[in-house]
Chains A and B, each alone.
Chain A
Amino acid sequence: MTQIFAYIPHQNGVAEDIAMEYPAAAQKIDASASLTAIVTGSGADLDAVVNEMTSIYSEVIKIDNADLAYPNAEVVRKALVNIIPGDAVFLTAHNTLGMDMAPGLSVKMDSAYAADIVDIEGIEGSTLKMIRQELGGAVSTHVESDISNGAVLTIRPGSFAPVEGGSAGGSITDKSSDAGDLSVKRKFLEIVEAEVGDVDITKSDVLVSIGRGIEDEENIEIAQELAEAMGAVVSCSRPIVDAKWLEKSRQVGTSGQTVKPKVYMAMGISGSFQHLGGVKGNPFIVAVNKNPKAPIFQVADVGIVEDILDFMPELTESIQDL
């Protein structure tokens, strides 16, 4: 029987949403598999998460250690190697902790590795069939992993249907004493909070969001004019911030702001999952992109194939004439 272990990321005593999504992923791997949640941490925060998880998972492993109070991936990995059976399938989120911890874990466990899984087709013999994306979501691929010696998979958040409030009444196993030596060569120091900018894009009902398609710093004016005409605020994708054309506080996405506008105008944005991960609340999405195959058109409500540098000024003018 397949044994599946799911690592539960948490903050301030609350599990992240992915905790509710692993069960659907596990079900798709092997409906008859056992599924165990693993929670690492320390003290009251850890206990709160462990208790929360007993309503969703029938088995919950708890690893309590002061060195795990902050999830330093190097420490977490060391603990997990000592806890997870060698032939198990291990699930973790494809987030900044998962990306830090999981590739090395698969090496230490000598198991197969598959990253950023968006769907699962199931097991045939010892082959696990999965779906992932490449090239910023432009294409999907089927991948197969030989899991005869176990597997480490990172699961893209939001890809599997969450379980609705459970009552699993799960049992808790304390494996803190099995974690072993947790000394590592990387020391967590502190969290430096992102800077607050002069505009709060999360407060705006309408966002004119620009991506790499804006091509040049000077063209940002065109977006600002459109935003002004619409009574909107300009936000952007990551490359615009990387180029220092707009400040970080205007970046939408997993490593930027989470916004919940009524209308989201994606201008020259391809639609990577890290960008869309910051667009919440099911807004009306308008995508303008010169590439008819851009992934953004799969999630937008309305799509327009045009050059934004020509289209935005014309739209601005028409709105001003209303």
Chain B
Amino acid sequence: MEILVCVKRVPDTAENEFELNSAGNDLDRDDLVYSVNEWDNYAVEEAIQIVDKVGGNVTVVTVGDDESEEVLRREMAMGANDGVLLCDDAFEGSDGKGIAALLKAEVEKGNYDLIFTGAQADEGAGQVGGMLAAMLDLPYASLVNKIDASDGGTITVGREIEGGNQEMNEIELPCVISIQTGINEPRYVGIRGIRKVAKVEIPVKGASDLGIDGGSVGDAGAKTKRVDYFVPDLGDGAEMLEGSTEEIIEQLIEKLKAKGGL
């Protein structure tokens, strides 16, 4: 089984307190800690487990800048065999479709049976997988939390739907699958693992390598654009309890008593 996993380098929500810059139109990116999108780790783990079982190769790909190489190396330390970085000034300003179009070009350079994305990334859109599938004219299933890949031309997948119920589907290969968290337990990657792949060559491909017209991706091709970031004024918000921990607990206990919490 040849598996391509699309991964994205994102600001780590667990490690950062997000602030706006002084102009108030973008995140203050100076001290942001980045990591691999949480969902993508599950996708890479799933790909490795499938290949361990039925044989094949796992390739990880990302559209990003120079610094995105580090997420590819991390996933290769997990066990992905190859990495590809799609990087070009012409890609700047791509919307979801722009990113999907770039990934499509890379998919067509290979011979993949399965293409994985995460169910969603930092921007919370959950768009790239479904777009990529439609552009490739391949079947798609999103939010997959179970894969049975033992059969020949088809696989059985479970999609996690509302209430935690599972929608079982049979899907023909090749196909695109978006992976939901919880499908497996992604393996731990230590410094040593990263060091082992530190010298592996990772090809970098630009617009011409992909045979893509720069005007169809990037800012020029984008129909949807983010204008700015802001923190909404949601009116009341919570009543913040202040003081020493002891004082806070005293106030809280009174409120809990009044509201039936004690």
Contacts and interface: CB of A to CB of B under 8 A. Distances in A.
Give the residue among A103, A244, A302 with the most B Cβ atoms within 10 A: A103
Interface residues of B, number: 82
Interface stretch (A43-51, A112-120, A172-180, A216-224): A112-120
A148 to B, nearest CB: 9
Given A144-B225, A262-B261, A286 B256 contact: yes
A115 B125 contact: yes
A280 interface: no
B200 interface: no
Interface string B145-177: 000000000001011111111111111100100
Interface in A181-216: 184-194, 205-206, 212
Given A185-B172, A190-B168, A99 B224 contact: no
Interface in B1-25: 11, 13-14, 17-20
A320 to B, nearest CB: 11
A223 B115 CA distance: 40
A299 B239 CA distance: 10
Nearest to A305: B240
A304 B124 contact: no
Nearest to B126: A99
A134 to B, nearest CB: 5
A238 to B, nearest CB: 7
Contact of A302 (B128, B166, B181, B239): B239
A95 interface: yes
Interface stretch (B56-64, B83-91, B230-238): B230-238
A12 interface: no
A144 B227 contact: yes
A96 B261 contact: no
A289 B134 CA distance: 41
B74 to A, nearest CB: 19
Contacts of A143: 224-227
A230 B151 CA distance: 51
Contacts of A141: 226-230
Contact of A112 (B27, B224, B234): B224
A106 B124 contact: no
B128 to A, nearest CB: 8
Interface stretch (B106-114, B135-143, B190-198): B135-143
B249 A315 contact: yes
Contacts of A303: 237-241
Contact of B131 (A106, A242, A285, A318): A106
Contacts of B138: 185
Contacts of B170: 186-187, 189
Contacts of A254: 162
Contacts of B250: 318
A63 B238 CA distance: 46
Nearest to B14: A212
Contacts of B232: 131, 140
Contacts of A134: 122-124, 229
Contact of B13 (A73, A230, A270, A310): A270
A81 B19 CA distance: 41
Interface in A211-268: 212, 230-232, 238-239, 241-244, 248, 251, 254-258, 262-263, 265
Contact of A96 (B124, B159, B224): B159
B96 interface: yes
B54 interface: no
Nearest to A111: B223
B261 A189 contact: no
A319 B254 CA distance: 11
Interface in B164-219: 164-172, 175, 181-182, 185
A59 to B, nearest CB: 27
A140 B124 contact: no
Interface in B233-262: 234, 237-241, 245-246, 248-250, 252-253, 255-256, 259-262
Please provide the 6 A-B residue pairs with the shortest distance between their CB atoms, ordered closest to farther: A103-B130, A303-B238, A104-B134, A263-B261, A107-B134, A194-B164
Given A103-B126, A142-B226, 19 more contacts: A103-B96, A104-B130, A106-B131, A107-B131, A131-B232, A134-B122, A136-B13, A146-B224, A186-B139, A186-B141, A189-B170, A191-B168, A194-B166, A206-B260, A206-B261, A255-B162, A297-B237, A297-B240, A303-B239
9 contacts: A96-B159, A107-B97, A116-B126, A189-B156, A191-B161, A255-B161, A255-B162, A263-B261, A300-B238
